[in-house]
Amino acid sequence: MARSDQIETTELTIDADWNGLYIDGEWRSPGDRETIAVENPATRETVNEVPAGTVDDVDEAFEVAAAAQEEWQDVLPQERGEIIQEVQDLVEEHHDELTELLAIESGSARPKASREFTSTGEMMHDVVTYPFRMTGSHSQSKIASKENIVKREPVGVVSVISPWNFPFQLSLRAVAPAIALGNAVVLKPASETPISGGLLIARLFEMAGLPDGVLNVVTGHGSEIGDRVASHPELSAVAFTGSTEIGQRVAKNAAEQLALPAMELGGNNPHVVLEDANVGEAVDAGIFGSFMHQGQICISINRHLVHESLYDEYVERFVERASELPVGDPLDEDTIVGPIINETERDNILEYVEKSVEQGATLELGGSADGLFVEPTVLSEMDNDMAAACNEHFGPVAPIIPFETDEEAIELANATEYGLAASVHSTTISRARDVADEIEAGMVHINDQPINNEPHVPFGGTKASGMGRYNGEWIIDELTEPKWTSIQHEPRDYSF
């Protein structure tokens, strides 16, 4: 398997021809299908279009994937790893084109795009080793002359339904492990980011020499094909990242096929600043955790919980820092805060802010929008029940809530249906650990902020924030299944 020399570099740019589904190693033209406009959220200009796939397209993709997987699982592990490495090499080679594509399609400012590609690269380097980490075991038996062997095998066909906020990374974090472990994949990217979340990935794997049918990409509206992607009879596992509401529906559909769901869902992540915290460090972390990618991250800070003795200083310093953040087109190198992905998301954000002010919050900064550019917004005198705090606002909004004791901070942090990520600041590590241990979240970061991901530690949440974990041995467990084989070496005496 080797890189295809027939794919031109220009085919990785935003204005390349992306108007096709990728099924069985072929780019299928739209034909009589409808198309979906790909829009630049910074300008609202249509920059490309992709096909609106149908249920029939999904069915064909699964049938092709099931056939291809039977051969792919027998490919030598080093060859599967080489494909993953080749994709990563291509990403590094075409970094500039891909950064521009991500900026234009998803509104990703350079700091966010850089972080997305860096995290993806770290993950891919680890995934290269996955084919050799499908380890099993050998054990004795309670029956004479018998031995037990347990090995891991790929689950089969994996569907990946990815979001628009980190489309490239959050697609590949499931696609790459699935392929490395011997599975085939049907990928359905978000309709807002069908290129960076789907068709781009297909092209990279095509360039890397992946056999036909192992990866299939069907773009389309979730309302029309989402249920089929999550419930096809050939489905063995589904990886979904998105809202809790949609995730529950995806999990239900998958369960009807007895397919294993791996779900990263919504979050309402607290940033807890204890009485003995370093305020400057907590503010720096809070600014990054609230405004990276306009707050459009499941693990971004949704609530700042600050001890009352530090509250006024924290609000003052936080507002000062937030007011200095450059807002603008992601293609501008100085931009930190780019556009919200669409009008619906923007309107939800502004509504949460308006309702919170009506409920008694003080608007310290921002609160309005120019097109899809929502100003960095800071709300003080908040409580946990106000709209911008009790909902996942998913925008550049920082509600700041005071508390009196560590016990109250824990209570406030846990007073949500979500349990994805959190952060705790204190100059006493043991105290921070005590609070972190009581916070109901899958990931807690001390003297940092919640936007963290490392390829060798489990990534995921509790409660309504999902089920299963990504990365390392945890995603290997999700995308493989154990098989027990016993060997009876001598004749066995039976009871009849």
Domain-located, residue 81? yes
238 and 362 inside one domain: no
Domain of residue 14 covers: 9-265+465-483
Is 31 exposed, middle or buried (CB count within 10 Å of its CB: 0-12, 13-18, 19+)? exposed
- pLDDT of 195-229, one tens digit each? 999 999 999 999 999 999 999 999 999 999 999 99
Active site residue 224: no
> CB atoms < 10 A from the CB of 387, how many?
20
Task: Give how far Cα 13 sits from Cα of 10, 165, 166, 187, 196, Å.
Answer: 6, 19, 18, 20, 10
Task: With respect to residue 3, please indicate whether it lies within any of the assigned structural domains.
Answer: no
Shared domain check, 352 and 296? yes
Work out the average pLDDT over 408-432: 98
Q: Tell me if 206 is assigned to some domain.
A: yes
Residue 10's pLDDT is: 61
Say if residue 258 is in the same domain as residue 348: no
Considering the domain architecture, whether residues 66 and 189 belong to the same structural domain is answered as yes
- Is residue 139 domain-shared with residue 185, that is, in the same domain? yes
**Same domain flag for 202 and 278:** no
Are 211 and 306 contained in the same domain? no
What are the CA-CA distances from residue 468 to residues 79, 204, 402, 420 (Å)?
28, 27, 33, 12
Query: How confident is the model over 427-452, as a mean pLDDT?
Result: 98
pLDDT tens, position by position, 366-416: 999 999 999 999 999 999 999 999 999 999 999 999 999 999 999 999 999
Arithmetic mean of pLDDT, 232-240: 97
Question: What burial letters (b/e) apply to 41-54, b meaning 16+ CB within 10 Å?
Answer: bbeeeebbbbbbbb
CATH of residue 166's domain is: 3.40.605.10
Model confidence over 142-153: pLDDT tens digits?
999 999 999 999
CA proximity to 446, closest of 438, 437, 436 = 436
Number of separate domains in the chain:
2
Section 77-106 average pLDDT? 96
Annotated catalytic residue within 206, 264, 375, 478 = 264
85 is a domain residue: yes
Tell me, what's the pLDDT at 8?
52
pLDDT confidence bin for 11, thresholds 50/70/90: confident
Instruction: Give the model's pLDDT for residue 5.
Output: 45
In this prediction, residue 230 has a pLDDT band, given cuts at 50, 70 and 90, of very high
Determine how β-strand 26-28 pairs with β-strand 21-23: antiparallel
Average pLDDT, the chain: 96
Give dist(CA 474, CA 158) in Å, integer: 16
pTM of structure: 0.95
The pLDDT confidence band at residue 237, using thresholds 50, 70 and 90, is very high
Residues 184/209, Cβ–Cβ less than 8 Å: no
Same-domain pairing of 200 and 301: no
208 and 73 together in one domain: yes
In percent, the amount of the chain with pLDDT more than 70 equals: 98
Determine the pLDDT at residue 4.
Answer: 46
